[in-house]
Amino acid sequence: MPLPTQLSKVWGYKPVYGTETEAKNISYSSGARPVISGGNIYAYQNYIFQMEPGTGIHVIDNSTPSAAVRIGFITVNGCSQISIKDGKIYTNSYDDLVVLNFSNLNNIEETSRLKGVFTEYRYASPIAQPPATGYYECPAFNKFVTGWTRDSVEQYCYKN
Amino acid sequence: MKKLYFFIYAVVFIALVSCEKSSDSSASLTNATGVGGSLAKFTISGNYLYAVSSHYLYTVNISNPSNPVRTNQTQLNFDMETIYPYKNSLFVGSRTGLYVYSLEDPAVPKLIGEAKHGRSCDPVIANDSVSYSTLKGSTFCGPATSGLYVYEVKNLNLPQLKTTIPINEPIGLGMSDSALYVCCASEGLRVFSIKNAYAPVERKLITGNNYIDVIAYNNILICWSSEGIVLFDITNRLLPVFIKKIAS
């Protein structure tokens, strides 16, 4: 019996790549978006924020707690963390620090971006992992993952 | 190895700030800085943003938000999980213990104290005299006993372990005045009286959701659960009253 020359393929996740510009584009959409894999929470004024690691930030209006409601979602690919001061959201997009002005929710502006500051987040950003357990195609280190799609993949990378 | 990324969240070390953080918690809505949970890896203190990744502590001057400037990046050999600011210090929870950094020079945090524990997962909160952290001694986090660890931190250079309370699978925690809230995953949310700071007494167990982390914010307890954000009224700190679940 000859040894197999390569691992057999299995059904798993394959990364979807974007250009750096696409991957790092910040945008806001109003309305609730389902929480897929809820992350850290943060309270600021009458808002509650919850990270959707890898893809963005859920915004909850908590002006009246008994009627608290999800009102929108800020797309920030590669994000995982949040902190807020003086109306500015500090978050990460891959290894960049991104500062967002959210004084007007419908016009979320990128105030500034400090590229590559969080050296270790580059390959540790949540989007470097698919949304569910199992085998996945290892992402290329020099590309920006913007999502995942189901496909036939080799058994090199595995998410617990 | 970032497969462990999310499990590492389980290692939250919380140093509880009865003044600073609960003044955050009980502060007015015009408070300039918001409040994070105990599992956070970002925190703002003064004009600086502090962030941890597994092996680095990053310091960024944000006095001008249009032009943030990194002032320091320190490499460390322990796996840092969480960061908690208190007055002039940063409490960093790691897989191997509690570390205290002085912010005497806020641009360059300096390690001044540490309390090592068995390899485990842990977040922290703290105040003037006491720090609480949870350790999760399960699969990914090593052999330390799971539970609530109470440290005396009157001397920041030498945190002293005062007591441990065994709890299965504790994760994030938060405090407000004389109450300590400990998330215990599927077991629920445990409410402790900390009138005696070094001897927490469990008063209530709230079940029904898989609790991960909490923020005590004014009179509202904001809980991150797997099922959604759960809000409680904590006007009576030791008797949370359910308000609403914002389903995921």
pLDDT in tens, B159-203: 888 999 999 889 999 999 999 999 999 999 999 999 999 999 999
What is the fold of B2-247? Methylamine Dehydrogenase; Chain H (2.130.10)
The DSSP line for B78-94 is S-EEEEEEETTEEEEEE
**Looking at CA atoms only, how far is residue A123 from chain B in angstroms?**
8
Partner A contacted by B174 (CB < 8 A): no
**How many domains, in total, are found in chain A?**
1
ipTM value, please give it.
0.88
Q: Is residue A5 part of a domain?
A: no
Per-residue model confidence (pLDDT) at position A1:
57
What are the E-state strand segments in A19-143? 27-30, 41-44, 47-52, 56-61, 69-75, 82-85, 88-93, 96-101, 109-114, 134-136
How many CB atoms lie under 10 A from the CB of residue A11?
10
Q: Where are the alpha helices (DSSP H) in A9-152?
A: 20-23
Q: Which two tokens stand for residue B70?
A: 């990194």
Domain boundaries, chain B: 2-247
| CATH number, residue A30 | 2.40.128
A154: containing domain: 10-159
Chain B, 42 to 101: residues with Cβ < 8 Å from chain A are 42-44, 49, 51, 53-56, 58, 60, 62, 65-70, 73
Instruction: List chain A residues with CB under 8 Å of B213.
Output: 40-41
Partner B contacted by A41 (CB < 8 A): yes
Query: Mind listing the pLDDT tens digit for each residue in B34-73?
Result: 999 999 999 999 999 999 998 899 999 999 999 999 999 9
The pTM of this model reads 0.86
Per-residue model confidence (pLDDT) at position B22:
33
Q: Is residue A65 part of a domain?
A: yes
Chain A, 95 to 134: residues with Cβ < 8 Å from chain B are 97, 99, 111-112, 114, 117-121, 123-124, 126, 128-129
Pick out chain A residues at pLDDT < 70: 1-6, 123-128
